[in-house]
């Protein structure tokens, strides 16, 4: 589904900025495959993260690409109950955690040594208008 929210990004320089984000997550009919898209922007930085992941018996694996900076790689990790914890590797390495409770989602990205060293986002599921 569609999500939107705000948070904080910490750049490599130590500067912290407010960030605005939109996400769209689509799970296939089997519930095992997820296509995700997360777009975020602050005053001086933006990223457009896309991923394809598969969940099997608690293990998560797949690929990711960040379109703004043209980097990508692999995703490995675990999912249980309402939390997904993965390591993304490739041109950069990062830890990504997503916790979902009802219509709220917390996203945490830690990538020490990269331009975007830390991101914390609070998202809310978009509510479709009733007709």
Is there a contact between 3 and 9 (Cβ–Cβ < 8 Å)?
no
- What pLDDT, in 10s, does the model give residues 25-46? 887 877 788 888 999 999 988 8
CB neighbours of 5 closer than 8 A, spacing ≥ 6?
20, 21, 105, 121, 122, 123, 124
Residue with token string 């390591």? 87
CB neighbours of 102 closer than 8 A, spacing ≥ 6?
none
Residuewise pLDDT in 10s, the chain (131 residues): 899 999 999 998 999 999 999 999 887 877 788 888 999 999 988 889 899 999 889 899 999 998 888 888 999 999 887 888 999 998 888 999 999 898 999 999 999 888 889 999 999 998 765 55
Is there a contact between 10 and 18 (Cβ–Cβ < 8 Å)?
no
- What pLDDT, in 10s, does the model give residues 9-21? 999 899 999 999 9
């Amino acid at each position: 589904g569609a999500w939107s929210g705000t948070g904080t990004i910490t750049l490599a320089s130590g500067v912290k900025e407010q960030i605005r984000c939109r996400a769209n997550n689509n799970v296939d009919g089997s519930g095992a495959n997820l296509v995700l898209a997360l777009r975020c922007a602050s005053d001086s930085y933006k990223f457009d993260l896309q991923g394809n992941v598969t969940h099997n018996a608690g293990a998560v694996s797949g690929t990711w690409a960040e379109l703004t900076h043209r980097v990508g790689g692999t995703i490995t990790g675990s999912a249980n109950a309402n939390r997904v914890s993965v390591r993304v590797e490739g041109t950069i390495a990062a830890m990504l955690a997503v916790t979902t409770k009802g219509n709220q989602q917390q996203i945490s990205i830690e990538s020490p040594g990269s331009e975007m060293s830390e991101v914390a986002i609070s998202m809310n599921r978009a509510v479709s208008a009733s007709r």
